[in-house]
Amino acid sequence: MIDNKTVEYVANLARIELNGNEIERLSGQLSHILDFIDKLKEVNIDMVIPTSHAISVENVLREDLPEDSLPVEKVISNAPSKKENFFLVPKVIE
């Protein structure tokens, strides 16, 4: 059973202001949650395979094959500023 003092302490740690009714209600709700967790601890899970997902999950990756690069002219054609075959950017180091 979680008492009101514990709820007040946790609320203080979380920097949450609670009035008397909220403290009383949260005390009961948190106690109910912990009681439910205790019930779950009684369940026999010896034959349950540990999983990290409820369903089977696989990465779907394409094969990494080398391909030809884009032509320099095509890439540079979209640049706002360019000089010869290079992007022209503002100087950022003085």
Please report the DSSP string for 36-68 in residue order.
HHHHHHTS--TTPPP-SSSS------------P
- Does the model's pTM come out above 0.85? no
**CA 56 from chain center: how many Å?**
20
pLDDT of residue 68: 92
pLDDT of residue 1: 81
How far apart, in whole angstroms, are the C-alpha atoms of residue 85 and residue 88? 9
Residue pLDDT tens, the chain, 94 long: 899 999 999 999 999 999 999 999 999 999 999 999 999 999 998 888 887 777 777 888 888 899 999 999 898 988 999 988 899 998 888 7
How far apart, in whole angstroms, are the C-alpha atoms of residue 33 and residue 29? 6
pLDDT of residue 7: 94
All structural domains of the chain with their residue ranges: 4-41
How far apart, in whole angstroms, are the C-alpha atoms of residue 20 and residue 30? 15
Pick the CATH number of 4-41 from 3.30.70, 1.10.20, 3.10.20, 1.10.260: 1.10.20
